[in-house]
């Protein structure tokens, strides 16, 4: 099927209540305040409890998801030709959803740009109001989205609901809040007067103008959490957005585009301000779109090879990348050995380690670490973490709710290869899913290495693999951490030590390396989790990412301020 750039007449937006920021002013103000103070705030309830969302919400959301399976998705893409169906759930289900296959890029670009002027002229408040309405309606479909995220990424349902739903909405709201602050930093009008013998006076107008078409390249593991911040940061600042999902995780972003188009049309704007560009895996559509002259903004989450290619070749665009890194834990000592092992075990197991924030390299002095239970050798540290993993994952029915499913065959290949890289301290095992017989589920593996094995631990091994690395001492551990992250990047780092001096050295090394640091996590906070409005996700200060969710720099370069002035 080929669709034209203009799907339907665009109604007048002059009286649309969606354009009133008053509808969502309280939520926006709370988000702006929390981002400024870095305090706890969450606009969207993270518990899927019936007490919160209603007794029928979960069942209705699952039914809505199932109604989409093995059907054409009700969405049109300008310039499409034929359809694609590329998604298979890590739980063993073919989704069978078909999407328009983006082919004619000229037509797609023309459609994206057609409504740009009216969207620009809506102004910061009008665009913010529309984007906040989109979030509200996405929230209304949160159970449907959670099922879509679960069966495209392999996340367990509760994690899909939280990370793919509530927390993703918070991150999107955070980006909108930052953008609104930056767009309104400069007044819309000003009177300029220069005193003197012949005084001068001018009236000046300052208008936020978009950069151009924005391209969002989605990832398989976190299709909403990683895509929504860039999508809404670009849209709210006036840029049309083309969403190019990962072929394995199209449905969550197709739902997103559908809701965006629905709200845009109701508000009187061209629905093609947000479009879906689905592809066959061999189409290489992302590379084609990324180098189009109309594309001025690109958001990418994924591997180093394509991220580096984008940074080198998409020269006409501002490129925001989150790539691979080597997340590190430095252990010097601990006041609670069992709690430390439990905390690390949870971090390794969560979503089978398929997170850009999951720890990988654990540096431990060969002489051992001081603990509340005596000195523990590296082997005993590995055994302690292994015991915590056994307790955490010993029951299959409980384990699958933490591990989720393995997202693709590449993860299994890396897991199998890791066993030959060193001494297997904690083997991985296959877990049978009680509800999905064809699900692929594995527990984490811990492999023992030494500091000399840099060719192994300096590369990211995405998935359920962690390396416990013996060093000559904590000073060497810190030096290896600093050097490895400076050269290869990291999204997170962690330290365990009862010594203030060691913690201070680690803080200094983390600043040198440009990576966020967690210190002595023993309770219900884990290194691979971050809180919107308080924690920055990524820093943009090391090779793992060139941007941060979310700071002023993440949104401010998505628009420019153009002035006009006249004598009065």
Question: Would you kindly state where each structural domain of the chain is located, as residue ranges?
Answer: 25-323+547-567, 328-519
Whole-number pLDDT of residue 265: 97
CATH code for residues 328-519: 3.40.309.10
Specify whether the CB–CB gap between 236 and 263 falls below 8 A. Answer: no
Please write the tens of the pLDDT for every residue from 109-118. Answer: 999 999 999 9
Tokens of 91: 């739980």
Given a cut of 80, whether residue 4 has pLDDT beyond it is: no
Given a cut of 90, whether residue 6 has pLDDT beyond it is: no
pLDDT band with cut points at 50, 70 and 90 for residue 9: very low
Given a cut of 80, whether residue 10 has pLDDT beyond it is: no
DSSP assignment letter at 405? -
Distance (Å, whole) CA 555 – CA 183: 9
Distance (Å, whole) CA 58 – CA 45: 14
Specify whether the CB–CB gap between 174 and 136 falls below 8 A. Answer: no
Judging by DSSP bridges, how do beta strands 99-102 and 80-84 pair with one another? antiparallel
pLDDT band with cut points at 50, 70 and 90 for residue 11: very low
Nearest to 231 by CA among 279, 189, 174, 283: 174
Tokens of 419: 């066993």
Judging by DSSP bridges, how do beta strands 559-567 and 200-210 pair with one another? antiparallel
Scan for tokens 């054409």, then name that residue: 72
Kindly give the interhelix angle for 228-236 and 251-266, rounded to the nearest 10 degrees: 20
Q: What is the pTM of this model?
A: 0.95
Whole-number pLDDT of residue 294: 98
Given a cut of 50, whether residue 248 has pLDDT beyond it is: yes
pLDDT band with cut points at 50, 70 and 90 for residue 324: confident
Whole-number pLDDT of residue 164: 97
Phi, psi of 321 (to 5 degrees): -120, 145
Whole-number pLDDT of residue 317: 98
3-state DSSP helix/strand/coil percent for the chain, to nearest 5? 45, 20, 35
Phi, psi of 241 (to 5 degrees): -125, 125
pLDDT band with cut points at 50, 70 and 90 for residue 3: very low
pLDDT band with cut points at 50, 70 and 90 for residue 15: low
Given a cut of 60, whether residue 415 has pLDDT beyond it is: yes
- CATH superfamily label, 25-323+547-567: Aldehyde Dehydrogenase; Chain A, domain 1 (3.40.605.10)
Tokens of 160: 């899909």
Mean pLDDT over all residues of the chain? 95
Specify whether the CB–CB gap between 443 and 393 falls below 8 A. Answer: yes
Could you tell me how many residues make up the chain? Answer: 568
Please write the tens of the pLDDT for every residue from 172-199. Answer: 999 999 999 999 999 999 999 999 999 9
Whole-number pLDDT of residue 14: 54
Instruction: Give the residue-averaged pLDDT of 36-50.
Output: 95
Q: Above pLDDT 70, what percent of the chain?
A: 97
Instruction: Give the residue-averaged pLDDT of 309-335.
Output: 96
Instruction: Give the residue-averaged pLDDT of 103-110.
Output: 98
Please write the tens of the pLDDT for every residue from 449-496. Answer: 999 999 999 999 999 999 999 999 999 999 999 999 999 999 999 999
Whole-number pLDDT of residue 101: 98
């Amino acid at each position: 099927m080929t669709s034209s750039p203009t799907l339907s007449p665009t109604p007048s937006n002059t009286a649309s209540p969606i354009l009133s920021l008053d509808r969502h002013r309280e939520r926006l103000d709370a988000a702006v305040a929390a981002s400024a103070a870095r305090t706890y705030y969450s606009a969207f309830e993270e518990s899927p409890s019936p007490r919160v969302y209603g007794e029928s919400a979960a069942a209705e959301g699952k039914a809505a998801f199932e109604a989409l399976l093995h059907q054409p998705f009700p969405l049109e893409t300008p310039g499409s030709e034929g359809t694609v169906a590329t998604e298979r759930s890590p739980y063993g289900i073919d989704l069978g959803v078909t999407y328009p296959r983006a082919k004619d890029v000229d037509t797609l670009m023309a459609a994206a740009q057609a409504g740009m002027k009216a969207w620009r002229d809506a102004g910061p408040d009008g665009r913010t109001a529309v984007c906040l309405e989109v979030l509200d309606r996405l929230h209304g479909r949160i159970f449907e989205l959670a099922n879509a995220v679960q069966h495209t990424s392999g996340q367990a349902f509760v994690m899909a609901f939280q990370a793919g739903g509530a927390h993703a909405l918070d991150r999107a709201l955070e980006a909108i809040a930052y953008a609104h602050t930056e767009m309104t930093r400069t007044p819309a009008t000003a009177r300029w007067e220069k005193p003197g013998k012949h005084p001068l006076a001018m009236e000046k107008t300052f208008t936020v103008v978009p950069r151009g078409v924005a391209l969002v390249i989605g990832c398989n593991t976190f299709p909403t959490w990683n895509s929504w911040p860039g999508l809404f940061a670009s849209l709210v600042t006036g840029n049309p957005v083309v969403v190019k999902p990962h072929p394995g995780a199209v449905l969550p972003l197709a739902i997103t585009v559908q809701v965006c188009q629905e709200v845009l049309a109701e508000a009187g704007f061209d629905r093609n301000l947000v479009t879906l560009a689905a592809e066959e895996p061999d189409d290489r559509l992302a590379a084609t779109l990324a180098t189009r002259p109309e594309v001025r903004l690109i958001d990418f989450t994924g591997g180093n090879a394509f991220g580096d290619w984008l940074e080198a070749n998409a020269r006409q665009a501002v490129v925001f990348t989150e790539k691979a890194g080597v997340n590190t834990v430095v252990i010097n000592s601990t006041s609670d050995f069992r709690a430390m092992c439990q905390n690390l075990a949870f971090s390794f197991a969560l979503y089978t380690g398929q997170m850009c924030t999951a720890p990988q390299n654990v540096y431990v002095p060969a002489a051992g670490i001081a603990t509340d239970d005596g000195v523990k050798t590296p082997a005993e540290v590995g055994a302690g973490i292994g015991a915590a993993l056994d307790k955490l994952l010993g029951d299959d029915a409980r384990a699958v709710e933490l591990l989720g499913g393995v997202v693709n065959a590449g993860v299994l290949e890396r897991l199998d290869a890791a066993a030959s890289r060193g001494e297997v301290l904690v083997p991985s095992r296959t877990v049978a899913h009680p509800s999905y017989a064809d699900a692929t589920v594995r527990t984490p593996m811990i492999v023992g290495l030494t500091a000399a094995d840099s060719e192994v631990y300096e590369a990211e091994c995405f998935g359920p693999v962690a390396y416990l690395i013996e060093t000559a001492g904590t000073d060497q551990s810190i030096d290896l951490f600093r050097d490895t992250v400076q050269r290869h990047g990291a999204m997170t780092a962690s330290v365990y030590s009862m010594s203030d001096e060691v913690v201070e050295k680690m803080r200094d090394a983390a600043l040198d390396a440009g990576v966020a640091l967690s210190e002595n996590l023993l309770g219900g906070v884990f290194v691979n989790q971050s809180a919107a409005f308080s924690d920055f996700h990524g820093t943009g200060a090391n090779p793992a990412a060139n941007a941060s969710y979310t700071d002023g720099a993440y949104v401010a370069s998505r628009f420019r301020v153009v002035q006009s002035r006249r004598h009065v």
